[in-house]
Chain A
Amino acid sequence: MGSTDIQLIQRRVRRTYELARLRRALVGILPVILVTGVAAFAASRPTAPLAFGLATALAGAMMLWHGRDPQKAFLPGVIAGLVPLGLALGAGALHTCGAASCSYVCVPACVLGGVVAGFAVAGVSLQRRASGWFWVSASGLALLTGAMGCACMGSAGVIGMGLGFGAGIVPGLLRRVFGKETR
């Protein structure tokens, strides 16, 4: 068999490998689709959870297909993002109305959830001594997952969660930088 034939076979086998990875990735994001469905069902306005859910599923599929650090960051990212999502969905039903105006607890819940998610991502990344790609991938997925619920108050909830997440992740980032400097 000539080298051209072997190269052709190698290209075909490579395609099979990539398709198999893509199939695995699509199966892997099924829980994200389920969570998106629950978030859309529980939210008063399902458009935002659906949009963020689609973005989460696409990003997750890309990470799982790509492999390496982004693939390893998929599960920690989604689990961390479930904290602000769960708190926001729970808080969505709670609001108190006085004589002048109504007070919603969605934004504080998102900030708190963001802080917890940031701590969680930083903790897992430090524990695994993960690369920068792991931090970026896990953070991005956690923010997208959390945003499904934190869009309850429009952009305010998402921004609040982002700020909380930033605050939560900073100690871990500093520890990582500090740890490197001391080596």
Chain B
Amino acid sequence: MNVRLDSDLDALMVRLADGDRGAFTRVFELLWEPIQTLCRSLLKNEADAADAGQDAMHKILERASDFDRSRPAMPWALAIAGWECRTVARRRERRREEAPDSMPSQAGPHAEEVFLQRDLTAAAMAALGELSDVDREVLVATFWDEAASVSGATLRKRRERALDRLRKTFRRLYGLD
């Protein structure tokens, strides 16, 4: 990733958030190619990637005025684009399920779904890694249905707090719940 371009983008996004329209074209140019590349690599389909990329650009610039200047712009934009790609992938999956006769049968799980699942799991693991040992133990025990060091109301309270922190960390890292 080009650090200079990223810091340029951060500064331009701040200007755009403040209403400086002069930054619009450059922001569009800086975001366009990385988002198209991400969508192509996630969706493995030119038409779907183009649709998802355009939708992502609309979402990003729609939220440009709410841009949080304390966060880097490129990961924020790519997170939005990633979610847009997931939406397109899910839509495509539903279309396949609705019309099984029109599509040839496919053996095994779809590569895109596996890829997206892996991507999401990696993001969740990264967020989990930022939590304290206690929070991590509570969440892992909850997920695997294991016995934790505490139980009852204390466990419930700790679980709520840990989930809340995980949610905040995920939002901080990826900009989305």
Contacts and interface: CB of A to CB of B under 8 A. Distances in A.
A9 B64 contact: no
A20 B63 contact: yes
B76 to A, nearest CB: 16
Interface string A1-30: 100001001101110110111001000000
B58 A13 contact: yes
Q: Which of B19, B20, B58 has the most CB of A within 10 A?
A: B19
A125 B24 CA distance: 28
Interface string B55-98: 00110011111000000000000000000000000000000000
Given A66-B19, A67-B19, A68-B19, A10 B62 contact: no
Interface residues of A, number: 18
B65 A13 contact: no
A66 B65 CA distance: 11
A71 interface: yes
Contacts of B115: none
Q: Which of A9, A19, A65, A71 has the most CB of B within 10 A?
A: A9
Contacts of A68: 18-20
Contacts of B58: 12-13, 16
Given A1-B50, A20-B63, A71 B25 contact: no
A74 B166 CA distance: 36
Nearest to B32: A6
Contact of B62 (A1, A9, A20, A67): A20
Given A1-B50, A12-B58, A13-B58, A20 B64 contact: yes
Interface string A53-92: 0000000000001111001000000000000000000000
B61 A16 contact: yes
Contacts of A19: 62
A21 B19 contact: yes
Interface of A: 1, 6, 9-10, 12-14, 16-17, 19-21, 24, 65-68, 71
Interface of B: 16, 18-20, 24-25, 28, 32, 50, 54, 57-58, 61-65
